[in-house]
Amino acid sequence: MTTTPFSQEEIASEGLKPEEYEEIVNRLGRHPNQAELGMFGVMWSEHCCYKNSRPLLKQFPTCSDRVIIGPGENAGVIDLGDGFQLAFKVESHNHPSAVEPFQGAATGVGGILRDIFTMGARPIAILNSLRFGTLDNPRTRRIFTGVVEGISHYGNSVGVPTVGGEIDFDPAYSGNPLVNVMALGLMETDDIVKAGASGIGNPVLYVGSTTGRDGMGGASFASSELAEDSDDDRPAVQVGDPFLEKSLIEACLEAFKTGAVVAAQDMGAAGLTCSTSEMAEKGGVGIELNLDTIPHRETGMTAYEYLLSESQERMLLVAQKGREQELIDIFQKWELHVVVAGEVISDPIIRITQQGEIAAEVPAKALAENTPLYEREILAEPPAYAQQAWQWHPNALPDCDDQGIAGQTWQDILLKLLATPSIASKAWVYRQYDHQVQNNTVLLPGQGDATVIRVRPQTEGISTYKGIAATTDCNGRYVYLDPYEGAKLAVAEAARNLSCVGAQPLAITNNLNFGRPENPVGYWQLAKACQGIAEACTELETPVTGGNVSLYNETLDQQGHPQPTYPTPVIGMVGLVEDVRQVCGQQWQQQGDLVYLLGDCEVTLGGSAYLATIQQMVTGKPPQVNFEKEKQLQQVCREGIRQGLIHSAHDCAEGGIAVALAECCLGANLGVEVTLTPSDHQRWDECFFGEAAGRIVVSIPPEKQQPWEALLDKTLGNAWQQLGMVTGKVLKINSNLVVSLDEMREKTESAIVSRLA
């Protein structure tokens, strides 16, 4: 194969560094051709090979008696008991959603669903974690509405319910939204389908949709920062077809059940390049593929275009030799394209042919395993911005008393917080999602701190009351101010949200959304956050089963300087509900119920919604997790729900105790009267709106008071207090914060809609 050197501009256009190109030449013993250069460009991108983050990911705990499949496959799989197995994962589609919101978000949903059913699991639920700029910006409004529409279109059409998630609005995400999607699926095949190819001479089948030029270079595009000309990268955004994906789900699950499929791999990022190289490398074999056989929808496509296309709804399967026609018949029945496109070979290489000639020939390991790895030095001291923020003290704020602060009453402030889009009702969003399709959703969006899905057996005659709880969580302000503590808080809050519905937390998947790793501050944030996740998952016994790393989440300002988003390590956590008849929502259930605050931890205004929204400041030190207290808190909540003592449970998060009480009221159209007074040296705004690492508001029926308080004394000691009683149509805290439900509802329900008008 005769090749010539590429220019520095050509190398850079593929997202490669000069030293990486030199390494490619050394690996091949020659200069690559255009197709091979493109293959290395996508497979050596951060999106595919994690060259900056892999050293940090090694510290995550990945094993437990529940984990069946950990990191390294298309999705993690855990054991739910009684023969049920759950596959789940979260991934990002940030940059595509920034330039083409509808298709970027829609294909993000399609991609994560394929990761699930590729394992042999039927998708049963979708969650999301979204970050946008402020809604006073016309571009943000366009991106926000487009992303929601894209998620709705794909999920509703494919027939998988979108059941939960989180949305935050902050100027830090103005140029670069974060669109993370999580999917869950129940294993439907006897054996988990893995990606490693095996069996020399086994045929390789291409199934699904046709290949076009959409999504060209998507992996490389996802591994670079956004700039003013990023709209020119629209060809790097894929186009999805959810109806075809529905057929692909059914066809794949039917094919997997035959036992004729040896391995399967979704064609996601890097398309044919990724699927061939990862399947070959994981199996220690090679794959030869003939591009002339690939179904295509555009004429004159080059090898480079075939190999880098990220057209959606495509899969690569390795079949048992002699049984390929059996599989072909299944996919043709579902009106999908299916061809024998190649075979497994003994040489551990990826050999691509076109028109009778070798178009590319690359060692599989060079693309999928033996990739660049950058061990970066972590800052010895926290950066200046963090050290400065940690010096802040609430005494810098104006004085306040029991009536208010700086001309604002506490009622005014509560209503302003409830009208903040990040805290306000997200009904405008989730009403666009079909969250009840499949008829397994036990807790609907907005009803509880986590979603709950019924486990429905596939076998006739088997019944169970098991359920799965799931949530996505992260407070970007916390992580920005203190990546280590903020990441621990994200894991702890996810577990707390599961405990509030009565679920035992089992495992997590994460999506690490960070800025440029070459920036020492950005790498420090990433490294410290990974350390925090590792510690929290170890303490809470929730191992990491997989996930996604999304770096370069930043834009260039007018001076050409990169401006990163908040570091946002989204935690997707799943838990087990033994009996879905015992789950708990966040709303009050009946007048006369007694209200308790569980948890005795330090309250702070550092990094709080109050400080950001009311005082226009992002500073201070965020709350710190005490894992011993956290575990006791969650245990007593779960046990109270299991024993039928608790009517409602709600985590105190953004906005503190006042916002938590308001949210409990609004869902039930019931008010509450409580007594809250500042502790020694505590300000009134800290008392009402300060945030902490481990507090839960619960309500119980009065007749259960004695056994409930006995359980509290036994588990929490003195770390609880009775606050008051559910009553009327007013939120009343002492006599100095009194707001009607109608006032609160008007503010929270109109917050997003009014900004889109």
Q: Which residues belong to the active site? A: 47, 93
Number of neighbouring beta carbons within 10 Å of residue 703: 9
338 SS3 class: strand
> Rounded CA gap, 389 and 620, in Å?
5
Q: Which residue has the tokens 């999805």?
A: 240
CA angle 148/154/156 to nearest 5° reads 90
> Rounded CA gap, 317 and 207, in Å?
8
Number of neighbouring beta carbons within 10 Å of residue 1: 13
256 SS3 class: helix
Tokens representing 159 are: 């027939």
Answer whether 344's CB lies under 8 Å from 198's CB: yes
DSSP code per residue over 663-727: HHHHHHT--EEE-----TT--HHHHHH-B-SS-EEEEE-GGGHHHHHHHHHHHHTT-EEEEEEE-
> Rounded CA gap, 7 and 412, in Å?
62
Among candidate residues 260, 246, 116, 126, the one with its CA nearest the CA of residue 188:
116
Answer whether 151's CB lies under 8 Å from 435's CB: no
Number of neighbouring beta carbons within 10 Å of residue 322: 11
Dihedral of CA atoms 551, 104, 114, 71 in degrees, nearest 10, equals 10
Pairing of strands 261-266, 121-132: unpaired
Tokens representing 738 are: 């009194």
Answer whether 67's CB lies under 8 Å from 538's CB: no
What does R_g of the chain's alpha carbons equal in angstroms?
26
CA angle 342/344/347 to nearest 5° reads 120
Among candidate residues 746, 728, 751, 723, the one with its CA nearest the CA of residue 738:
728
733 SS3 class: strand
Among candidate residues 37, 18, 66, 9, the one with its CA nearest the CA of residue 545:
66
CA angle 634/683/662 to nearest 5° reads 50
Instruction: Name every residue whose Cβ is closer than 8 Å to that of residue 233 and which is 6 or more positions away in sequence.
Output: 95, 99, 221
Among candidate residues 40, 115, 698, 691, the one with its CA nearest the CA of residue 365:
40
> Rounded CA gap, 450 and 444, in Å?
9
